[in-house]
């Protein structure tokens, strides 16, 4: 069971990362559950950080 939950949380983070790369707003997070929302936003932040670093090159 723990692996399944981790996989779902990982998927939420991946989807947040993709949303960040696509330029979507943080408010577009589809999750209401705190755990999933935190992972989605974490992925979204990673993507934004990546994009900011890319513009510095």
* The pLDDT value given to residue 40: 99
Interatomic CA distance for residues 28 and 41, integer angstroms: 10
Domain total in the chain:
1
* The pLDDT value given to residue 1: 52
pTM equals: 0.85
* pLDDT tens digit sequence for 29-43: 999 999 999 999 999
CATH number at residue 44: 1.10.10.620
* pLDDT tens digit sequence for 1-57: 567 777 999 999 999 999 999 999 999 999 999 999 999 999 999 999 999 987 665
Q: Which domain holds residue 13?
A: 5-55
* The pLDDT value given to residue 3: 72
């Amino acid at each position: 069971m723990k692996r399944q939950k981790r996989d779902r949380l990982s998927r939420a983070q991946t989807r947040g990362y993709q949303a960040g790369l696509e330029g979507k707003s943080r408010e577009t997070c589809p999750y209401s559950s705190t755990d999933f929302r935190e992972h989605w936003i974490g992925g979204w932040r990673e993507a934004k950080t990546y994009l900011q670093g890319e513009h510095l090159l």
